[in-house]
Structure 1
Amino acid sequence: MIADYLDLGCTEIINSSRAAAYAEPHCLLTACSPCTGLREAISDPPYTDPVTDAAPWYDPAVPESALVLGVMGLTAAGYSQSTIQRTPLQLVGDGAALGVARRAHREITYTVLLLALEECALAYGMEWLATALQGAPCAGACDGDEIGVYACCPTGDGTRELRHLYGVGLLEGPTLVSARYEPEGIIAEVTFTLVAGVPWIYREPLQTLTDWIPLGDGDLVEVDPDEVYGQCEEPTPCMEDPECPPPPLPVRAPVPVDDCYPTGEATFRRSVVALSPVDHPEWLEAVPVLELETGGSALRRLVVRFWANPLGGDCEEIVDPCGACTDIQIPYLPPGSTLLVDGRTQQAEVECPQGALGTAVSAPILYGPRGAAFEWPIFACSTGLCIEILSTAATTAPDARARVLLVPRSDVG
């Protein structure tokens, strides 16, 4: 990752292009060549000065804030190392059991230059930096914030180079390492360390799955969504002796069924979208993000099913029941609500408008196939997908819509 840009909780922390533009009239930095294309990628107009541009740190109530020229990135360490950990367990004999591989948190250390025209401006710049690194006001907290960075100098709109990390918070700093006093101003070296609770580095969603799907236009079908899993039989172990069957297992207690989980056949609206194998990066796994707006009425019995389609066949004719990967099933969503099931953060929420009171946020009940406990799906390697969306026809509003994004991720960047 380049150190020239960092956005934390929707606040620009580092922008080398901005800092270089503000420093140039003061001749404070004479040998600096920041990343070209950065300003255009973040859709900023040409930089003039902190006051005219309403720079992130500028505060009309603090006059010295106009004399802060910005934060320029020098180094960013922690992105280019894997967070995977494994503890082998030594066997009594030779060798060891490998143990389970897991990924720990990610620590990211930045070294930056804080540019200011005088001492009070430098003091305010440190105050602002310390506050901004705490994250978005009224958000983040223990869950952390999202950060946006670039893998290399962006070109065009920067979509190809943009990366995201989630669950990010300040671990240490900011710390003033040194300050060089020039006739034109002050160049201070500052370090700080962020920690990402979600270690993955995410790209932008695949562009082939960004369109919204009008659920009310889906085909009418009579189907039991759980029936498909009963059509796929498990293979019989070949080493079972037919003349010496194993002893029967003890009778298991029946598994209780949640009364909120709907079962049986019903009339559904069915919509299908396809992801071609060639559109999925070959060496990157991906996670889904489901967004849905219920529209004018409550929506019941939502089923979003993912089917493996490695050969890129016609998704309208799904014939192999054993190709079903997993489900996202939700029994009820209130009218006028917005659903987000985010595989990047592994969190789900429903926003419901409350009139003058604002918006209420609740966690939906998620089920997996056949009402089992929900597990967050991960799609590895380059595989085609068919994504089937079912919702009961009687409760699907004409203005209901949904989309399923697929977001590639990596362990290093």
Structure 2
Amino acid sequence: MWDGYLQLAGNEIVNTARAVTYARAAGLPVKCDPCDAVAQAMGDDPYWALDDGTAPWYDLAVPASRGFYGVMGLDVSGFNSSTITRTPTALIGDGSALGPARRNHREVAWTVALITAGEAEESYAMEWLSTALLGSQCEGRTCNGDEMCVFSACPGTTPLAAGDRRVLGDHEIRHLYDVGVVSGPGITDRQWVGGGEFLWTTVTFTLAAAKPWIYHDPLASNVDWVSLGSGQLVSNTDPDQVYQQCLEPKPCAADPLCPPPVMPPKPPAPTSPCYPTGLGTFRRSRIQVSPLDESSWLESVPVLEVRTGGAAMRRLLVRFWANPQNNPCGSYQDPCNACADINVSYLPAGSTLRVDGRVQRSVVECPQFPIGVATSTPTIYGPKGGLFTWPTFPCPTGLCIEVWSRSDTTAADATARVLLVPRADAG
């Protein structure tokens, strides 16, 4: 992973290109290749000098900020190894039981240089860095950490193919979630450079990602919103009625003349108290993902986003099928063969639902009058209103995705999209 850029909770922390440009403009001849494409990749104006006012630490009320020229990345570690662990348990006889594999959190150690005009400026730089590394500082009711963005290489290293909808840097950018500082920042070295006019301060700090996966940007082929209000009208049907006909495999080694003893009943699994049955009229919209757009080796997770528009929405169902032959999704799909279901009983008018497989959390955002946005956590159900499990797609099978909702509670301006996000365990 590249050490030239770090963003945490939307705040730029490390930007070697900015630091080198500002230091050179101030008279320090820093000798390195800062990767000039960073500004374009992040949507910034070209970097010129500190007094352009675009530096995240620049503060007109603090004179010392004018002598802080930036944070330059020197080294980063923690990306190039998997977090998978497994503890075999010795058997009474020979050998061991491998046990399940699990992933620990990921720790990422940074070594950076603060370039300043003196000790007062260095003190301010440390104040700013220690505050910025706190991220969002547990805004709201929980402390889940923040999103961290880095690059696998200098943006633009990977050439864009003909017809590629992505822009400069999209191939190289990586995202980690639920990230927070666990140690530092701490000064490890200080040197006066440039004839004694500049202070070069080496600082280390460590961030931990509670979600250990390293995520790419979503697949570029399915980022568009799909209209739900103009979806196909399907009358007198039930999208789940075929579930009643699903065949369950039966053990073939059981002796019909000597049946096994009856096992005690299992406790019933909780189901949605509002899960409806029977016929109705629905709006059905389809999304297709080609297996050619998916990575051959990286697994993917879905991110569902729904905007309800002008009416409250009821009985939202999003269903996934594997489609390795990339057949048209207009043909009949058997619910018994579905990979995963997302069931939501109710969404208020004007709200936005996000079911995010990257962080495995769901949220509904509702605008408040006269200003503000209220957030709440919806209850998500799985097939037939049962338990929901977060789906992952480990192979490039292609997907057919259907979005169902009751026609009488689907606004004309309701929209939805399903993003597929590739992820890796090392980078």
Q: What TM-score does the superposition give when structure 1 sets the normalisation length?
A: 0.96
Question: Partner amino acid for 1:300?
Answer: R
Confirm whether residue 220 of structure 1 aligns to residue 221 of structure 2. no
Structure 1 residues 250 and 136 mapped into 2: Cα distance closer, same or farther (>3 Å)? closer
Deviations 1:145-199 (A, max 9, x none): 0011001111152001110000000000000111101223011100000000010
Confirm whether residue 67 of structure 1 aligns to residue 81 of structure 2. no
**Quick check: 2:269–2:387 contact (8 Å CA) kept in 1?**
no
Partner of 1:356, secondary structure, is: coil
Aligned to 1:194: 207
CA distance in 1, matches of 2:269, 2:209: 38
Q: CA deviation at 1:270?
A: 0.2
CA distance in 2, matches of 1:173, 1:147: 17
CA distance in 2, matches of 1:154, 1:72: 16
Q: Which runs of 5+ in 1 are unaligned?
A: none
1:236 to 250, 256, 268: 250
Aligned to 1:297: 311
Aligned to 1:17: 17
Aligned to 1:338: 352
Confirm whether residue 151 of structure 1 aligns to residue 152 of structure 2. yes
**Quick check: 1:206–1:408 contact (8 Å CA) kept in 2?**
yes
Question: Partner amino acid for 1:402?
Answer: A
Q: CA deviation at 1:254?
A: 5.9
Q: CA deviation at 1:235?
A: 2.3
CA distance in 2, matches of 1:308, 1:26: 58
2:183 to 141, 151, 172: 172
Aligned pairs, number: 413
Deviations 1:324-351 (A, max 9, x none): 1110000000111111110001110111
Structure 1 residues 252 and 377 mapped into 2: Cα distance closer, same or farther (>3 Å)? closer
Q: Which runs of 5+ in 2 are unaligned?
A: 157-166
Structure 1 residues 408 and 253 mapped into 2: Cα distance closer, same or farther (>3 Å)? closer
1:210 to 223, 228, 252: 223
Question: Partner amino acid for 2:143?
Answer: C
Which stretch of the first structure deviates more once superposed, 319-328 or 163-172? 319-328
Question: Partner amino acid for 1:158?
Answer: G
Q: CA deviation at 1:357?
A: 4.8
Structure 1 residues 305 and 106 mapped into 2: Cα distance closer, same or farther (>3 Å)? same
CA distance in 1, matches of 2:68, 2:221: 43
Aligned to 2:289: 275
The 5 Å alignment of 1:314-329 reads: 314-329=328-343
Structure 1 residues 289 and 253 mapped into 2: Cα distance closer, same or farther (>3 Å)? closer
**Quick check: 1:26–1:184 contact (8 Å CA) kept in 2?**
no
CA distance in 2, matches of 1:258, 1:388: 20
CA distance in 2, matches of 1:137, 1:302: 34
Q: What TM-score does the superposition give when structure 2 sets the normalisation length?
A: 0.93
Confirm whether residue 390 of structure 1 aligns to residue 404 of structure 2. yes
The 5 Å alignment of 1:26-65 reads: 26-65=26-65
Which stretch of the first structure deviates more once superposed, 206-215 or 39-48? 39-48
Aligned to 1:161: 172
CA distance in 2, matches of 1:123, 1:185: 14
**Quick check: 2:272–2:386 contact (8 Å CA) kept in 1?**
no
Q: CA deviation at 1:313?
A: 1.2
**Quick check: 2:83–2:106 contact (8 Å CA) kept in 1?**
yes
Aligned to 1:407: 421
**Quick check: 1:139–1:145 contact (8 Å CA) kept in 2?**
no
Partner of 1:178, secondary structure, is: strand
Question: Partner amino acid for 1:59?
Answer: D
Aligned to 2:391: 377
Aligned to 2:364: 350
Structure 1 residues 29 and 262 mapped into 2: Cα distance closer, same or farther (>3 Å)? farther
Which stretch of the first structure deviates more once superposed, 342-351 or 231-240? 231-240
Aligned to 1:91: 91
Question: Partner amino acid for 1:213?
Answer: V
Structure 1 residues 319 and 332 mapped into 2: Cα distance closer, same or farther (>3 Å)? closer
CA distance in 2, matches of 1:157, 1:198: 26
Which stretch of the first structure deviates more once superposed, 38-47 or 173-182? 38-47
1:313 to 322, 327, 331: 327
Partner of 1:34, secondary structure, is: coil
Deviations 1:358-390 (A, max 9, x none): 111111121000111111111112111100000
Q: CA deviation at 1:65?
A: 0.1
**Quick check: 2:84–2:104 contact (8 Å CA) kept in 1?**
yes
Which stretch of the first structure deviates more once superposed, 132-141 or 245-254? 245-254
**Quick check: 2:106–2:211 contact (8 Å CA) kept in 1?**
yes
Q: CA deviation at 1:293?
A: 0.6
Q: CA deviation at 1:258?
A: 3.9
Which stretch of the first structure deviates more once superposed, 231-240 or 132-141? 132-141
CA distance in 2, matches of 1:197, 1:254: 32
Structure 1 residues 6 and 331 mapped into 2: Cα distance closer, same or farther (>3 Å)? same
Partner of 1:143, secondary structure, is: coil
CA distance in 2, matches of 1:301, 1:50: 54
Deviations 1:29-85 (A, max 9, x none): 432112242222112222122231331001111001011000000111001111111
**Quick check: 1:172–1:194 contact (8 Å CA) kept in 2?**
yes
Partner of 1:73, secondary structure, is: strand
Aligned to 1:361: 375
